[in-house]
Structure 1
Amino acid sequence: MGVSTSSPENGPEKDGIAVVTVDFPPVNALPVRGWFALADAVRAAGRDPRTRCVLLTAEGRGFNAGVDIKELQAQGPSALVGANRGCFEAFAAVYECEVPVVAAVHGFCLGGGIGLVGNADVIVASEDATFGLPELDRGALGAATHLSRLVPQHLMRALYYTSRTATAAELHAHGSVWRVVPRAELLHTALELAREIAAKDGELLRLAKAAINGIDPVDVRRSYRFEQGFTFEASAVGVADRVRDTFGNEGNQGA
């Protein structure tokens, strides 16, 4: 359980691909330590001069269910601060990774999962993948910054206000998902794309990543930090707890 990395040297792929895998049963709702561990793993992979592409994957039922709601309920404000900081670091690590990041998404991709894939360079998804922000149903806010990178503005607002999800096929139609494949083919397809990227000159890839980030129309770090201020406000006035207390007790489902 946790975050693991197969490096270009000792992993199954010795062609410049670092595979970072998240595994927090039962639903990959990450505790505070999990977000920081993920950030550290992605940053370390990107700094490795042998790495030319990072492949972000997950084990279990779904790609990511966001933060661990039960941890928030048990530990209160300290866990909220930790979760916000951890998410900020993990999202930034993916965005700022020195080489391209390919996200291989299966099952559910919710809450913090949207922050990860919204900051990735390319998304490959299985046919059963769904994407959404159930934040308003979980007493939380945030990651509209990243959902805006996946769907048009008005659709983003509709999904955000309703807590509905979009399918991988729908995101593919909007151009934000590269390929949609049967679940059994997900890892193979994602690795195939990662190999194609990693075949390029490593130094030039790093320059290309920096150049593309430099022309982004939205500063994702600043935009997400702005959103987080409203998350704190919701917590401070008691709205977050009121909504969160109505949330079901099925495992450590996230937001």
Structure 2
Amino acid sequence: MSHETLTLDVSEHIATITITRPPVNAQNNRFREELVEVVDALGDRSDVRAIVITGEGKAFSAGADLSERPTQDPGHYTAHNRRVRASFDCLLECPKPIIAAVNGAAIGAGCVTALCCDIIVTSEKGFLQMTEVMVGLAGGVAHVRRHFGESDARMMIYTARRVYGPELLRMNVASACVAPEDLLETARGIATDIAKASPSAVRAAKKSFQVTEGVSIYEGYRFEQGQTKALSTSEDTAEAMAAFREKRAPVFKG
């Protein structure tokens, strides 16, 4: 299936989504609809174990398409906000790990898109920026706060300052910062490592991250123990034990 605002490639259990809205990959309603559709489908596909999302050209995504700002007509802003949330929630809720390969500007909604992914890798030229205060808007605090320390989160929101790849790595926001030409290879390398693991165990691990955020360590660990108990009777666990005994690499089916 072809899409207007993104491309999709699937090979060796890795899906690569590329945002394709030149010149800066701004997010319009069509993009939001297509992203939700594609990510939801990938979450259900047995041939996909990890997802990489990046941008075409020099930008990851420079934020919302301002030509489609909602009007003050009754219900219009509410519907707009629901669509925006859905485009972020599909990333957070996807059962497969998603890696953001930040190749350039990730501004506003583009920044939040990256922050909703499980893992962030960035090029040396990539940066995150929240510019809402400079255009009289608000938003992004909840997502920024999940990744940045409190002082850095407030600085980013209050000043709209760009935070580039090397600084993101220092702040532990990004897992890697590499030369632009090495970005996709690095992201796909991480995805390949994920794809080698038990798909059912990886899904359980992501579910644990989703469920245990914001709960006590007591409640969180009890949930994880329940996950482990459920996995203990799975085909993947049996294969892992057999591979260990036979001194070979496991072949997981998920």
> Normalised by the shorter chain, which TM-score bucket?
0.7 to 0.9
Q: Which has the larger radius of gyration?
A: 2
Structure 2 vs 1, CA of residues 66 and 82 (structure 1 numbering), >3 Å: closer, same or farther?
A: farther
Q: Which residue of 2 aligns with 1:154?
A: 151
| TM-score normalised by length of structure 2 | 0.78
Whole-Å separation in 2 of the counterparts to 1:96 and 1:39? 11
Moved over 6 A (4+): none
Structure 2 unmatched runs, 5+: 216-254
Amino acid at match of 2:5: G
Q: Deviations over 1:35-68 (max 9, x none)?
A: 1211211111111122111111110221011111
Amino acid at match of 1:101: I
Q: Which of these residues, 179, 182, 186, is aligned with residue 189 of structure 1?
A: 186
Q: Deviations over 1:131-154 (max 9, x none)?
A: 110011123211111111221112
RMSD: 1.6
Structure 2 vs 1, CA of residues 4 and 120 (structure 1 numbering), >3 Å: closer, same or farther?
A: same
1:198 aligns with 2:214: no
Whole-Å separation in 2 of the counterparts to 1:164 and 1:89? 26
1:42–1:94: 8 Å Cα contact kept in structure 2?
Answer: yes
Amino acid at match of 1:203: S
Identity of aligned residues (%): 30
1:66–1:112: 8 Å Cα contact kept in structure 2?
Answer: yes
Q: Which residue of 2 aligns with 1:167?
A: 164
Q: Which residue of 1 aligns with 2:103?
A: 106
Cα displacement (A) at 1:116: 1.3
Q: Deviations over 1:183-230 (max 9, x none)?
A: 111111111111011111111111111112111128xxxxxxxxxxxx
Whole-Å separation in 2 of the counterparts to 1:92 and 1:68? 19
Amino acid at match of 1:4: T
Q: Which of these residues, 7, 16, 27, is aligned with residue 13 of structure 2?
A: 16
Amino acid at match of 1:54: I
Q: Which residue of 2 aligns with 1:241?
A: none
Q: Which of these residues, 53, 71, 75, is aligned with residue 76 of structure 1?
A: 71
Higher RCO (CA 8 Å, separation ≥ 6 residues) = 1
The total of aligned residue pairs comes to 210
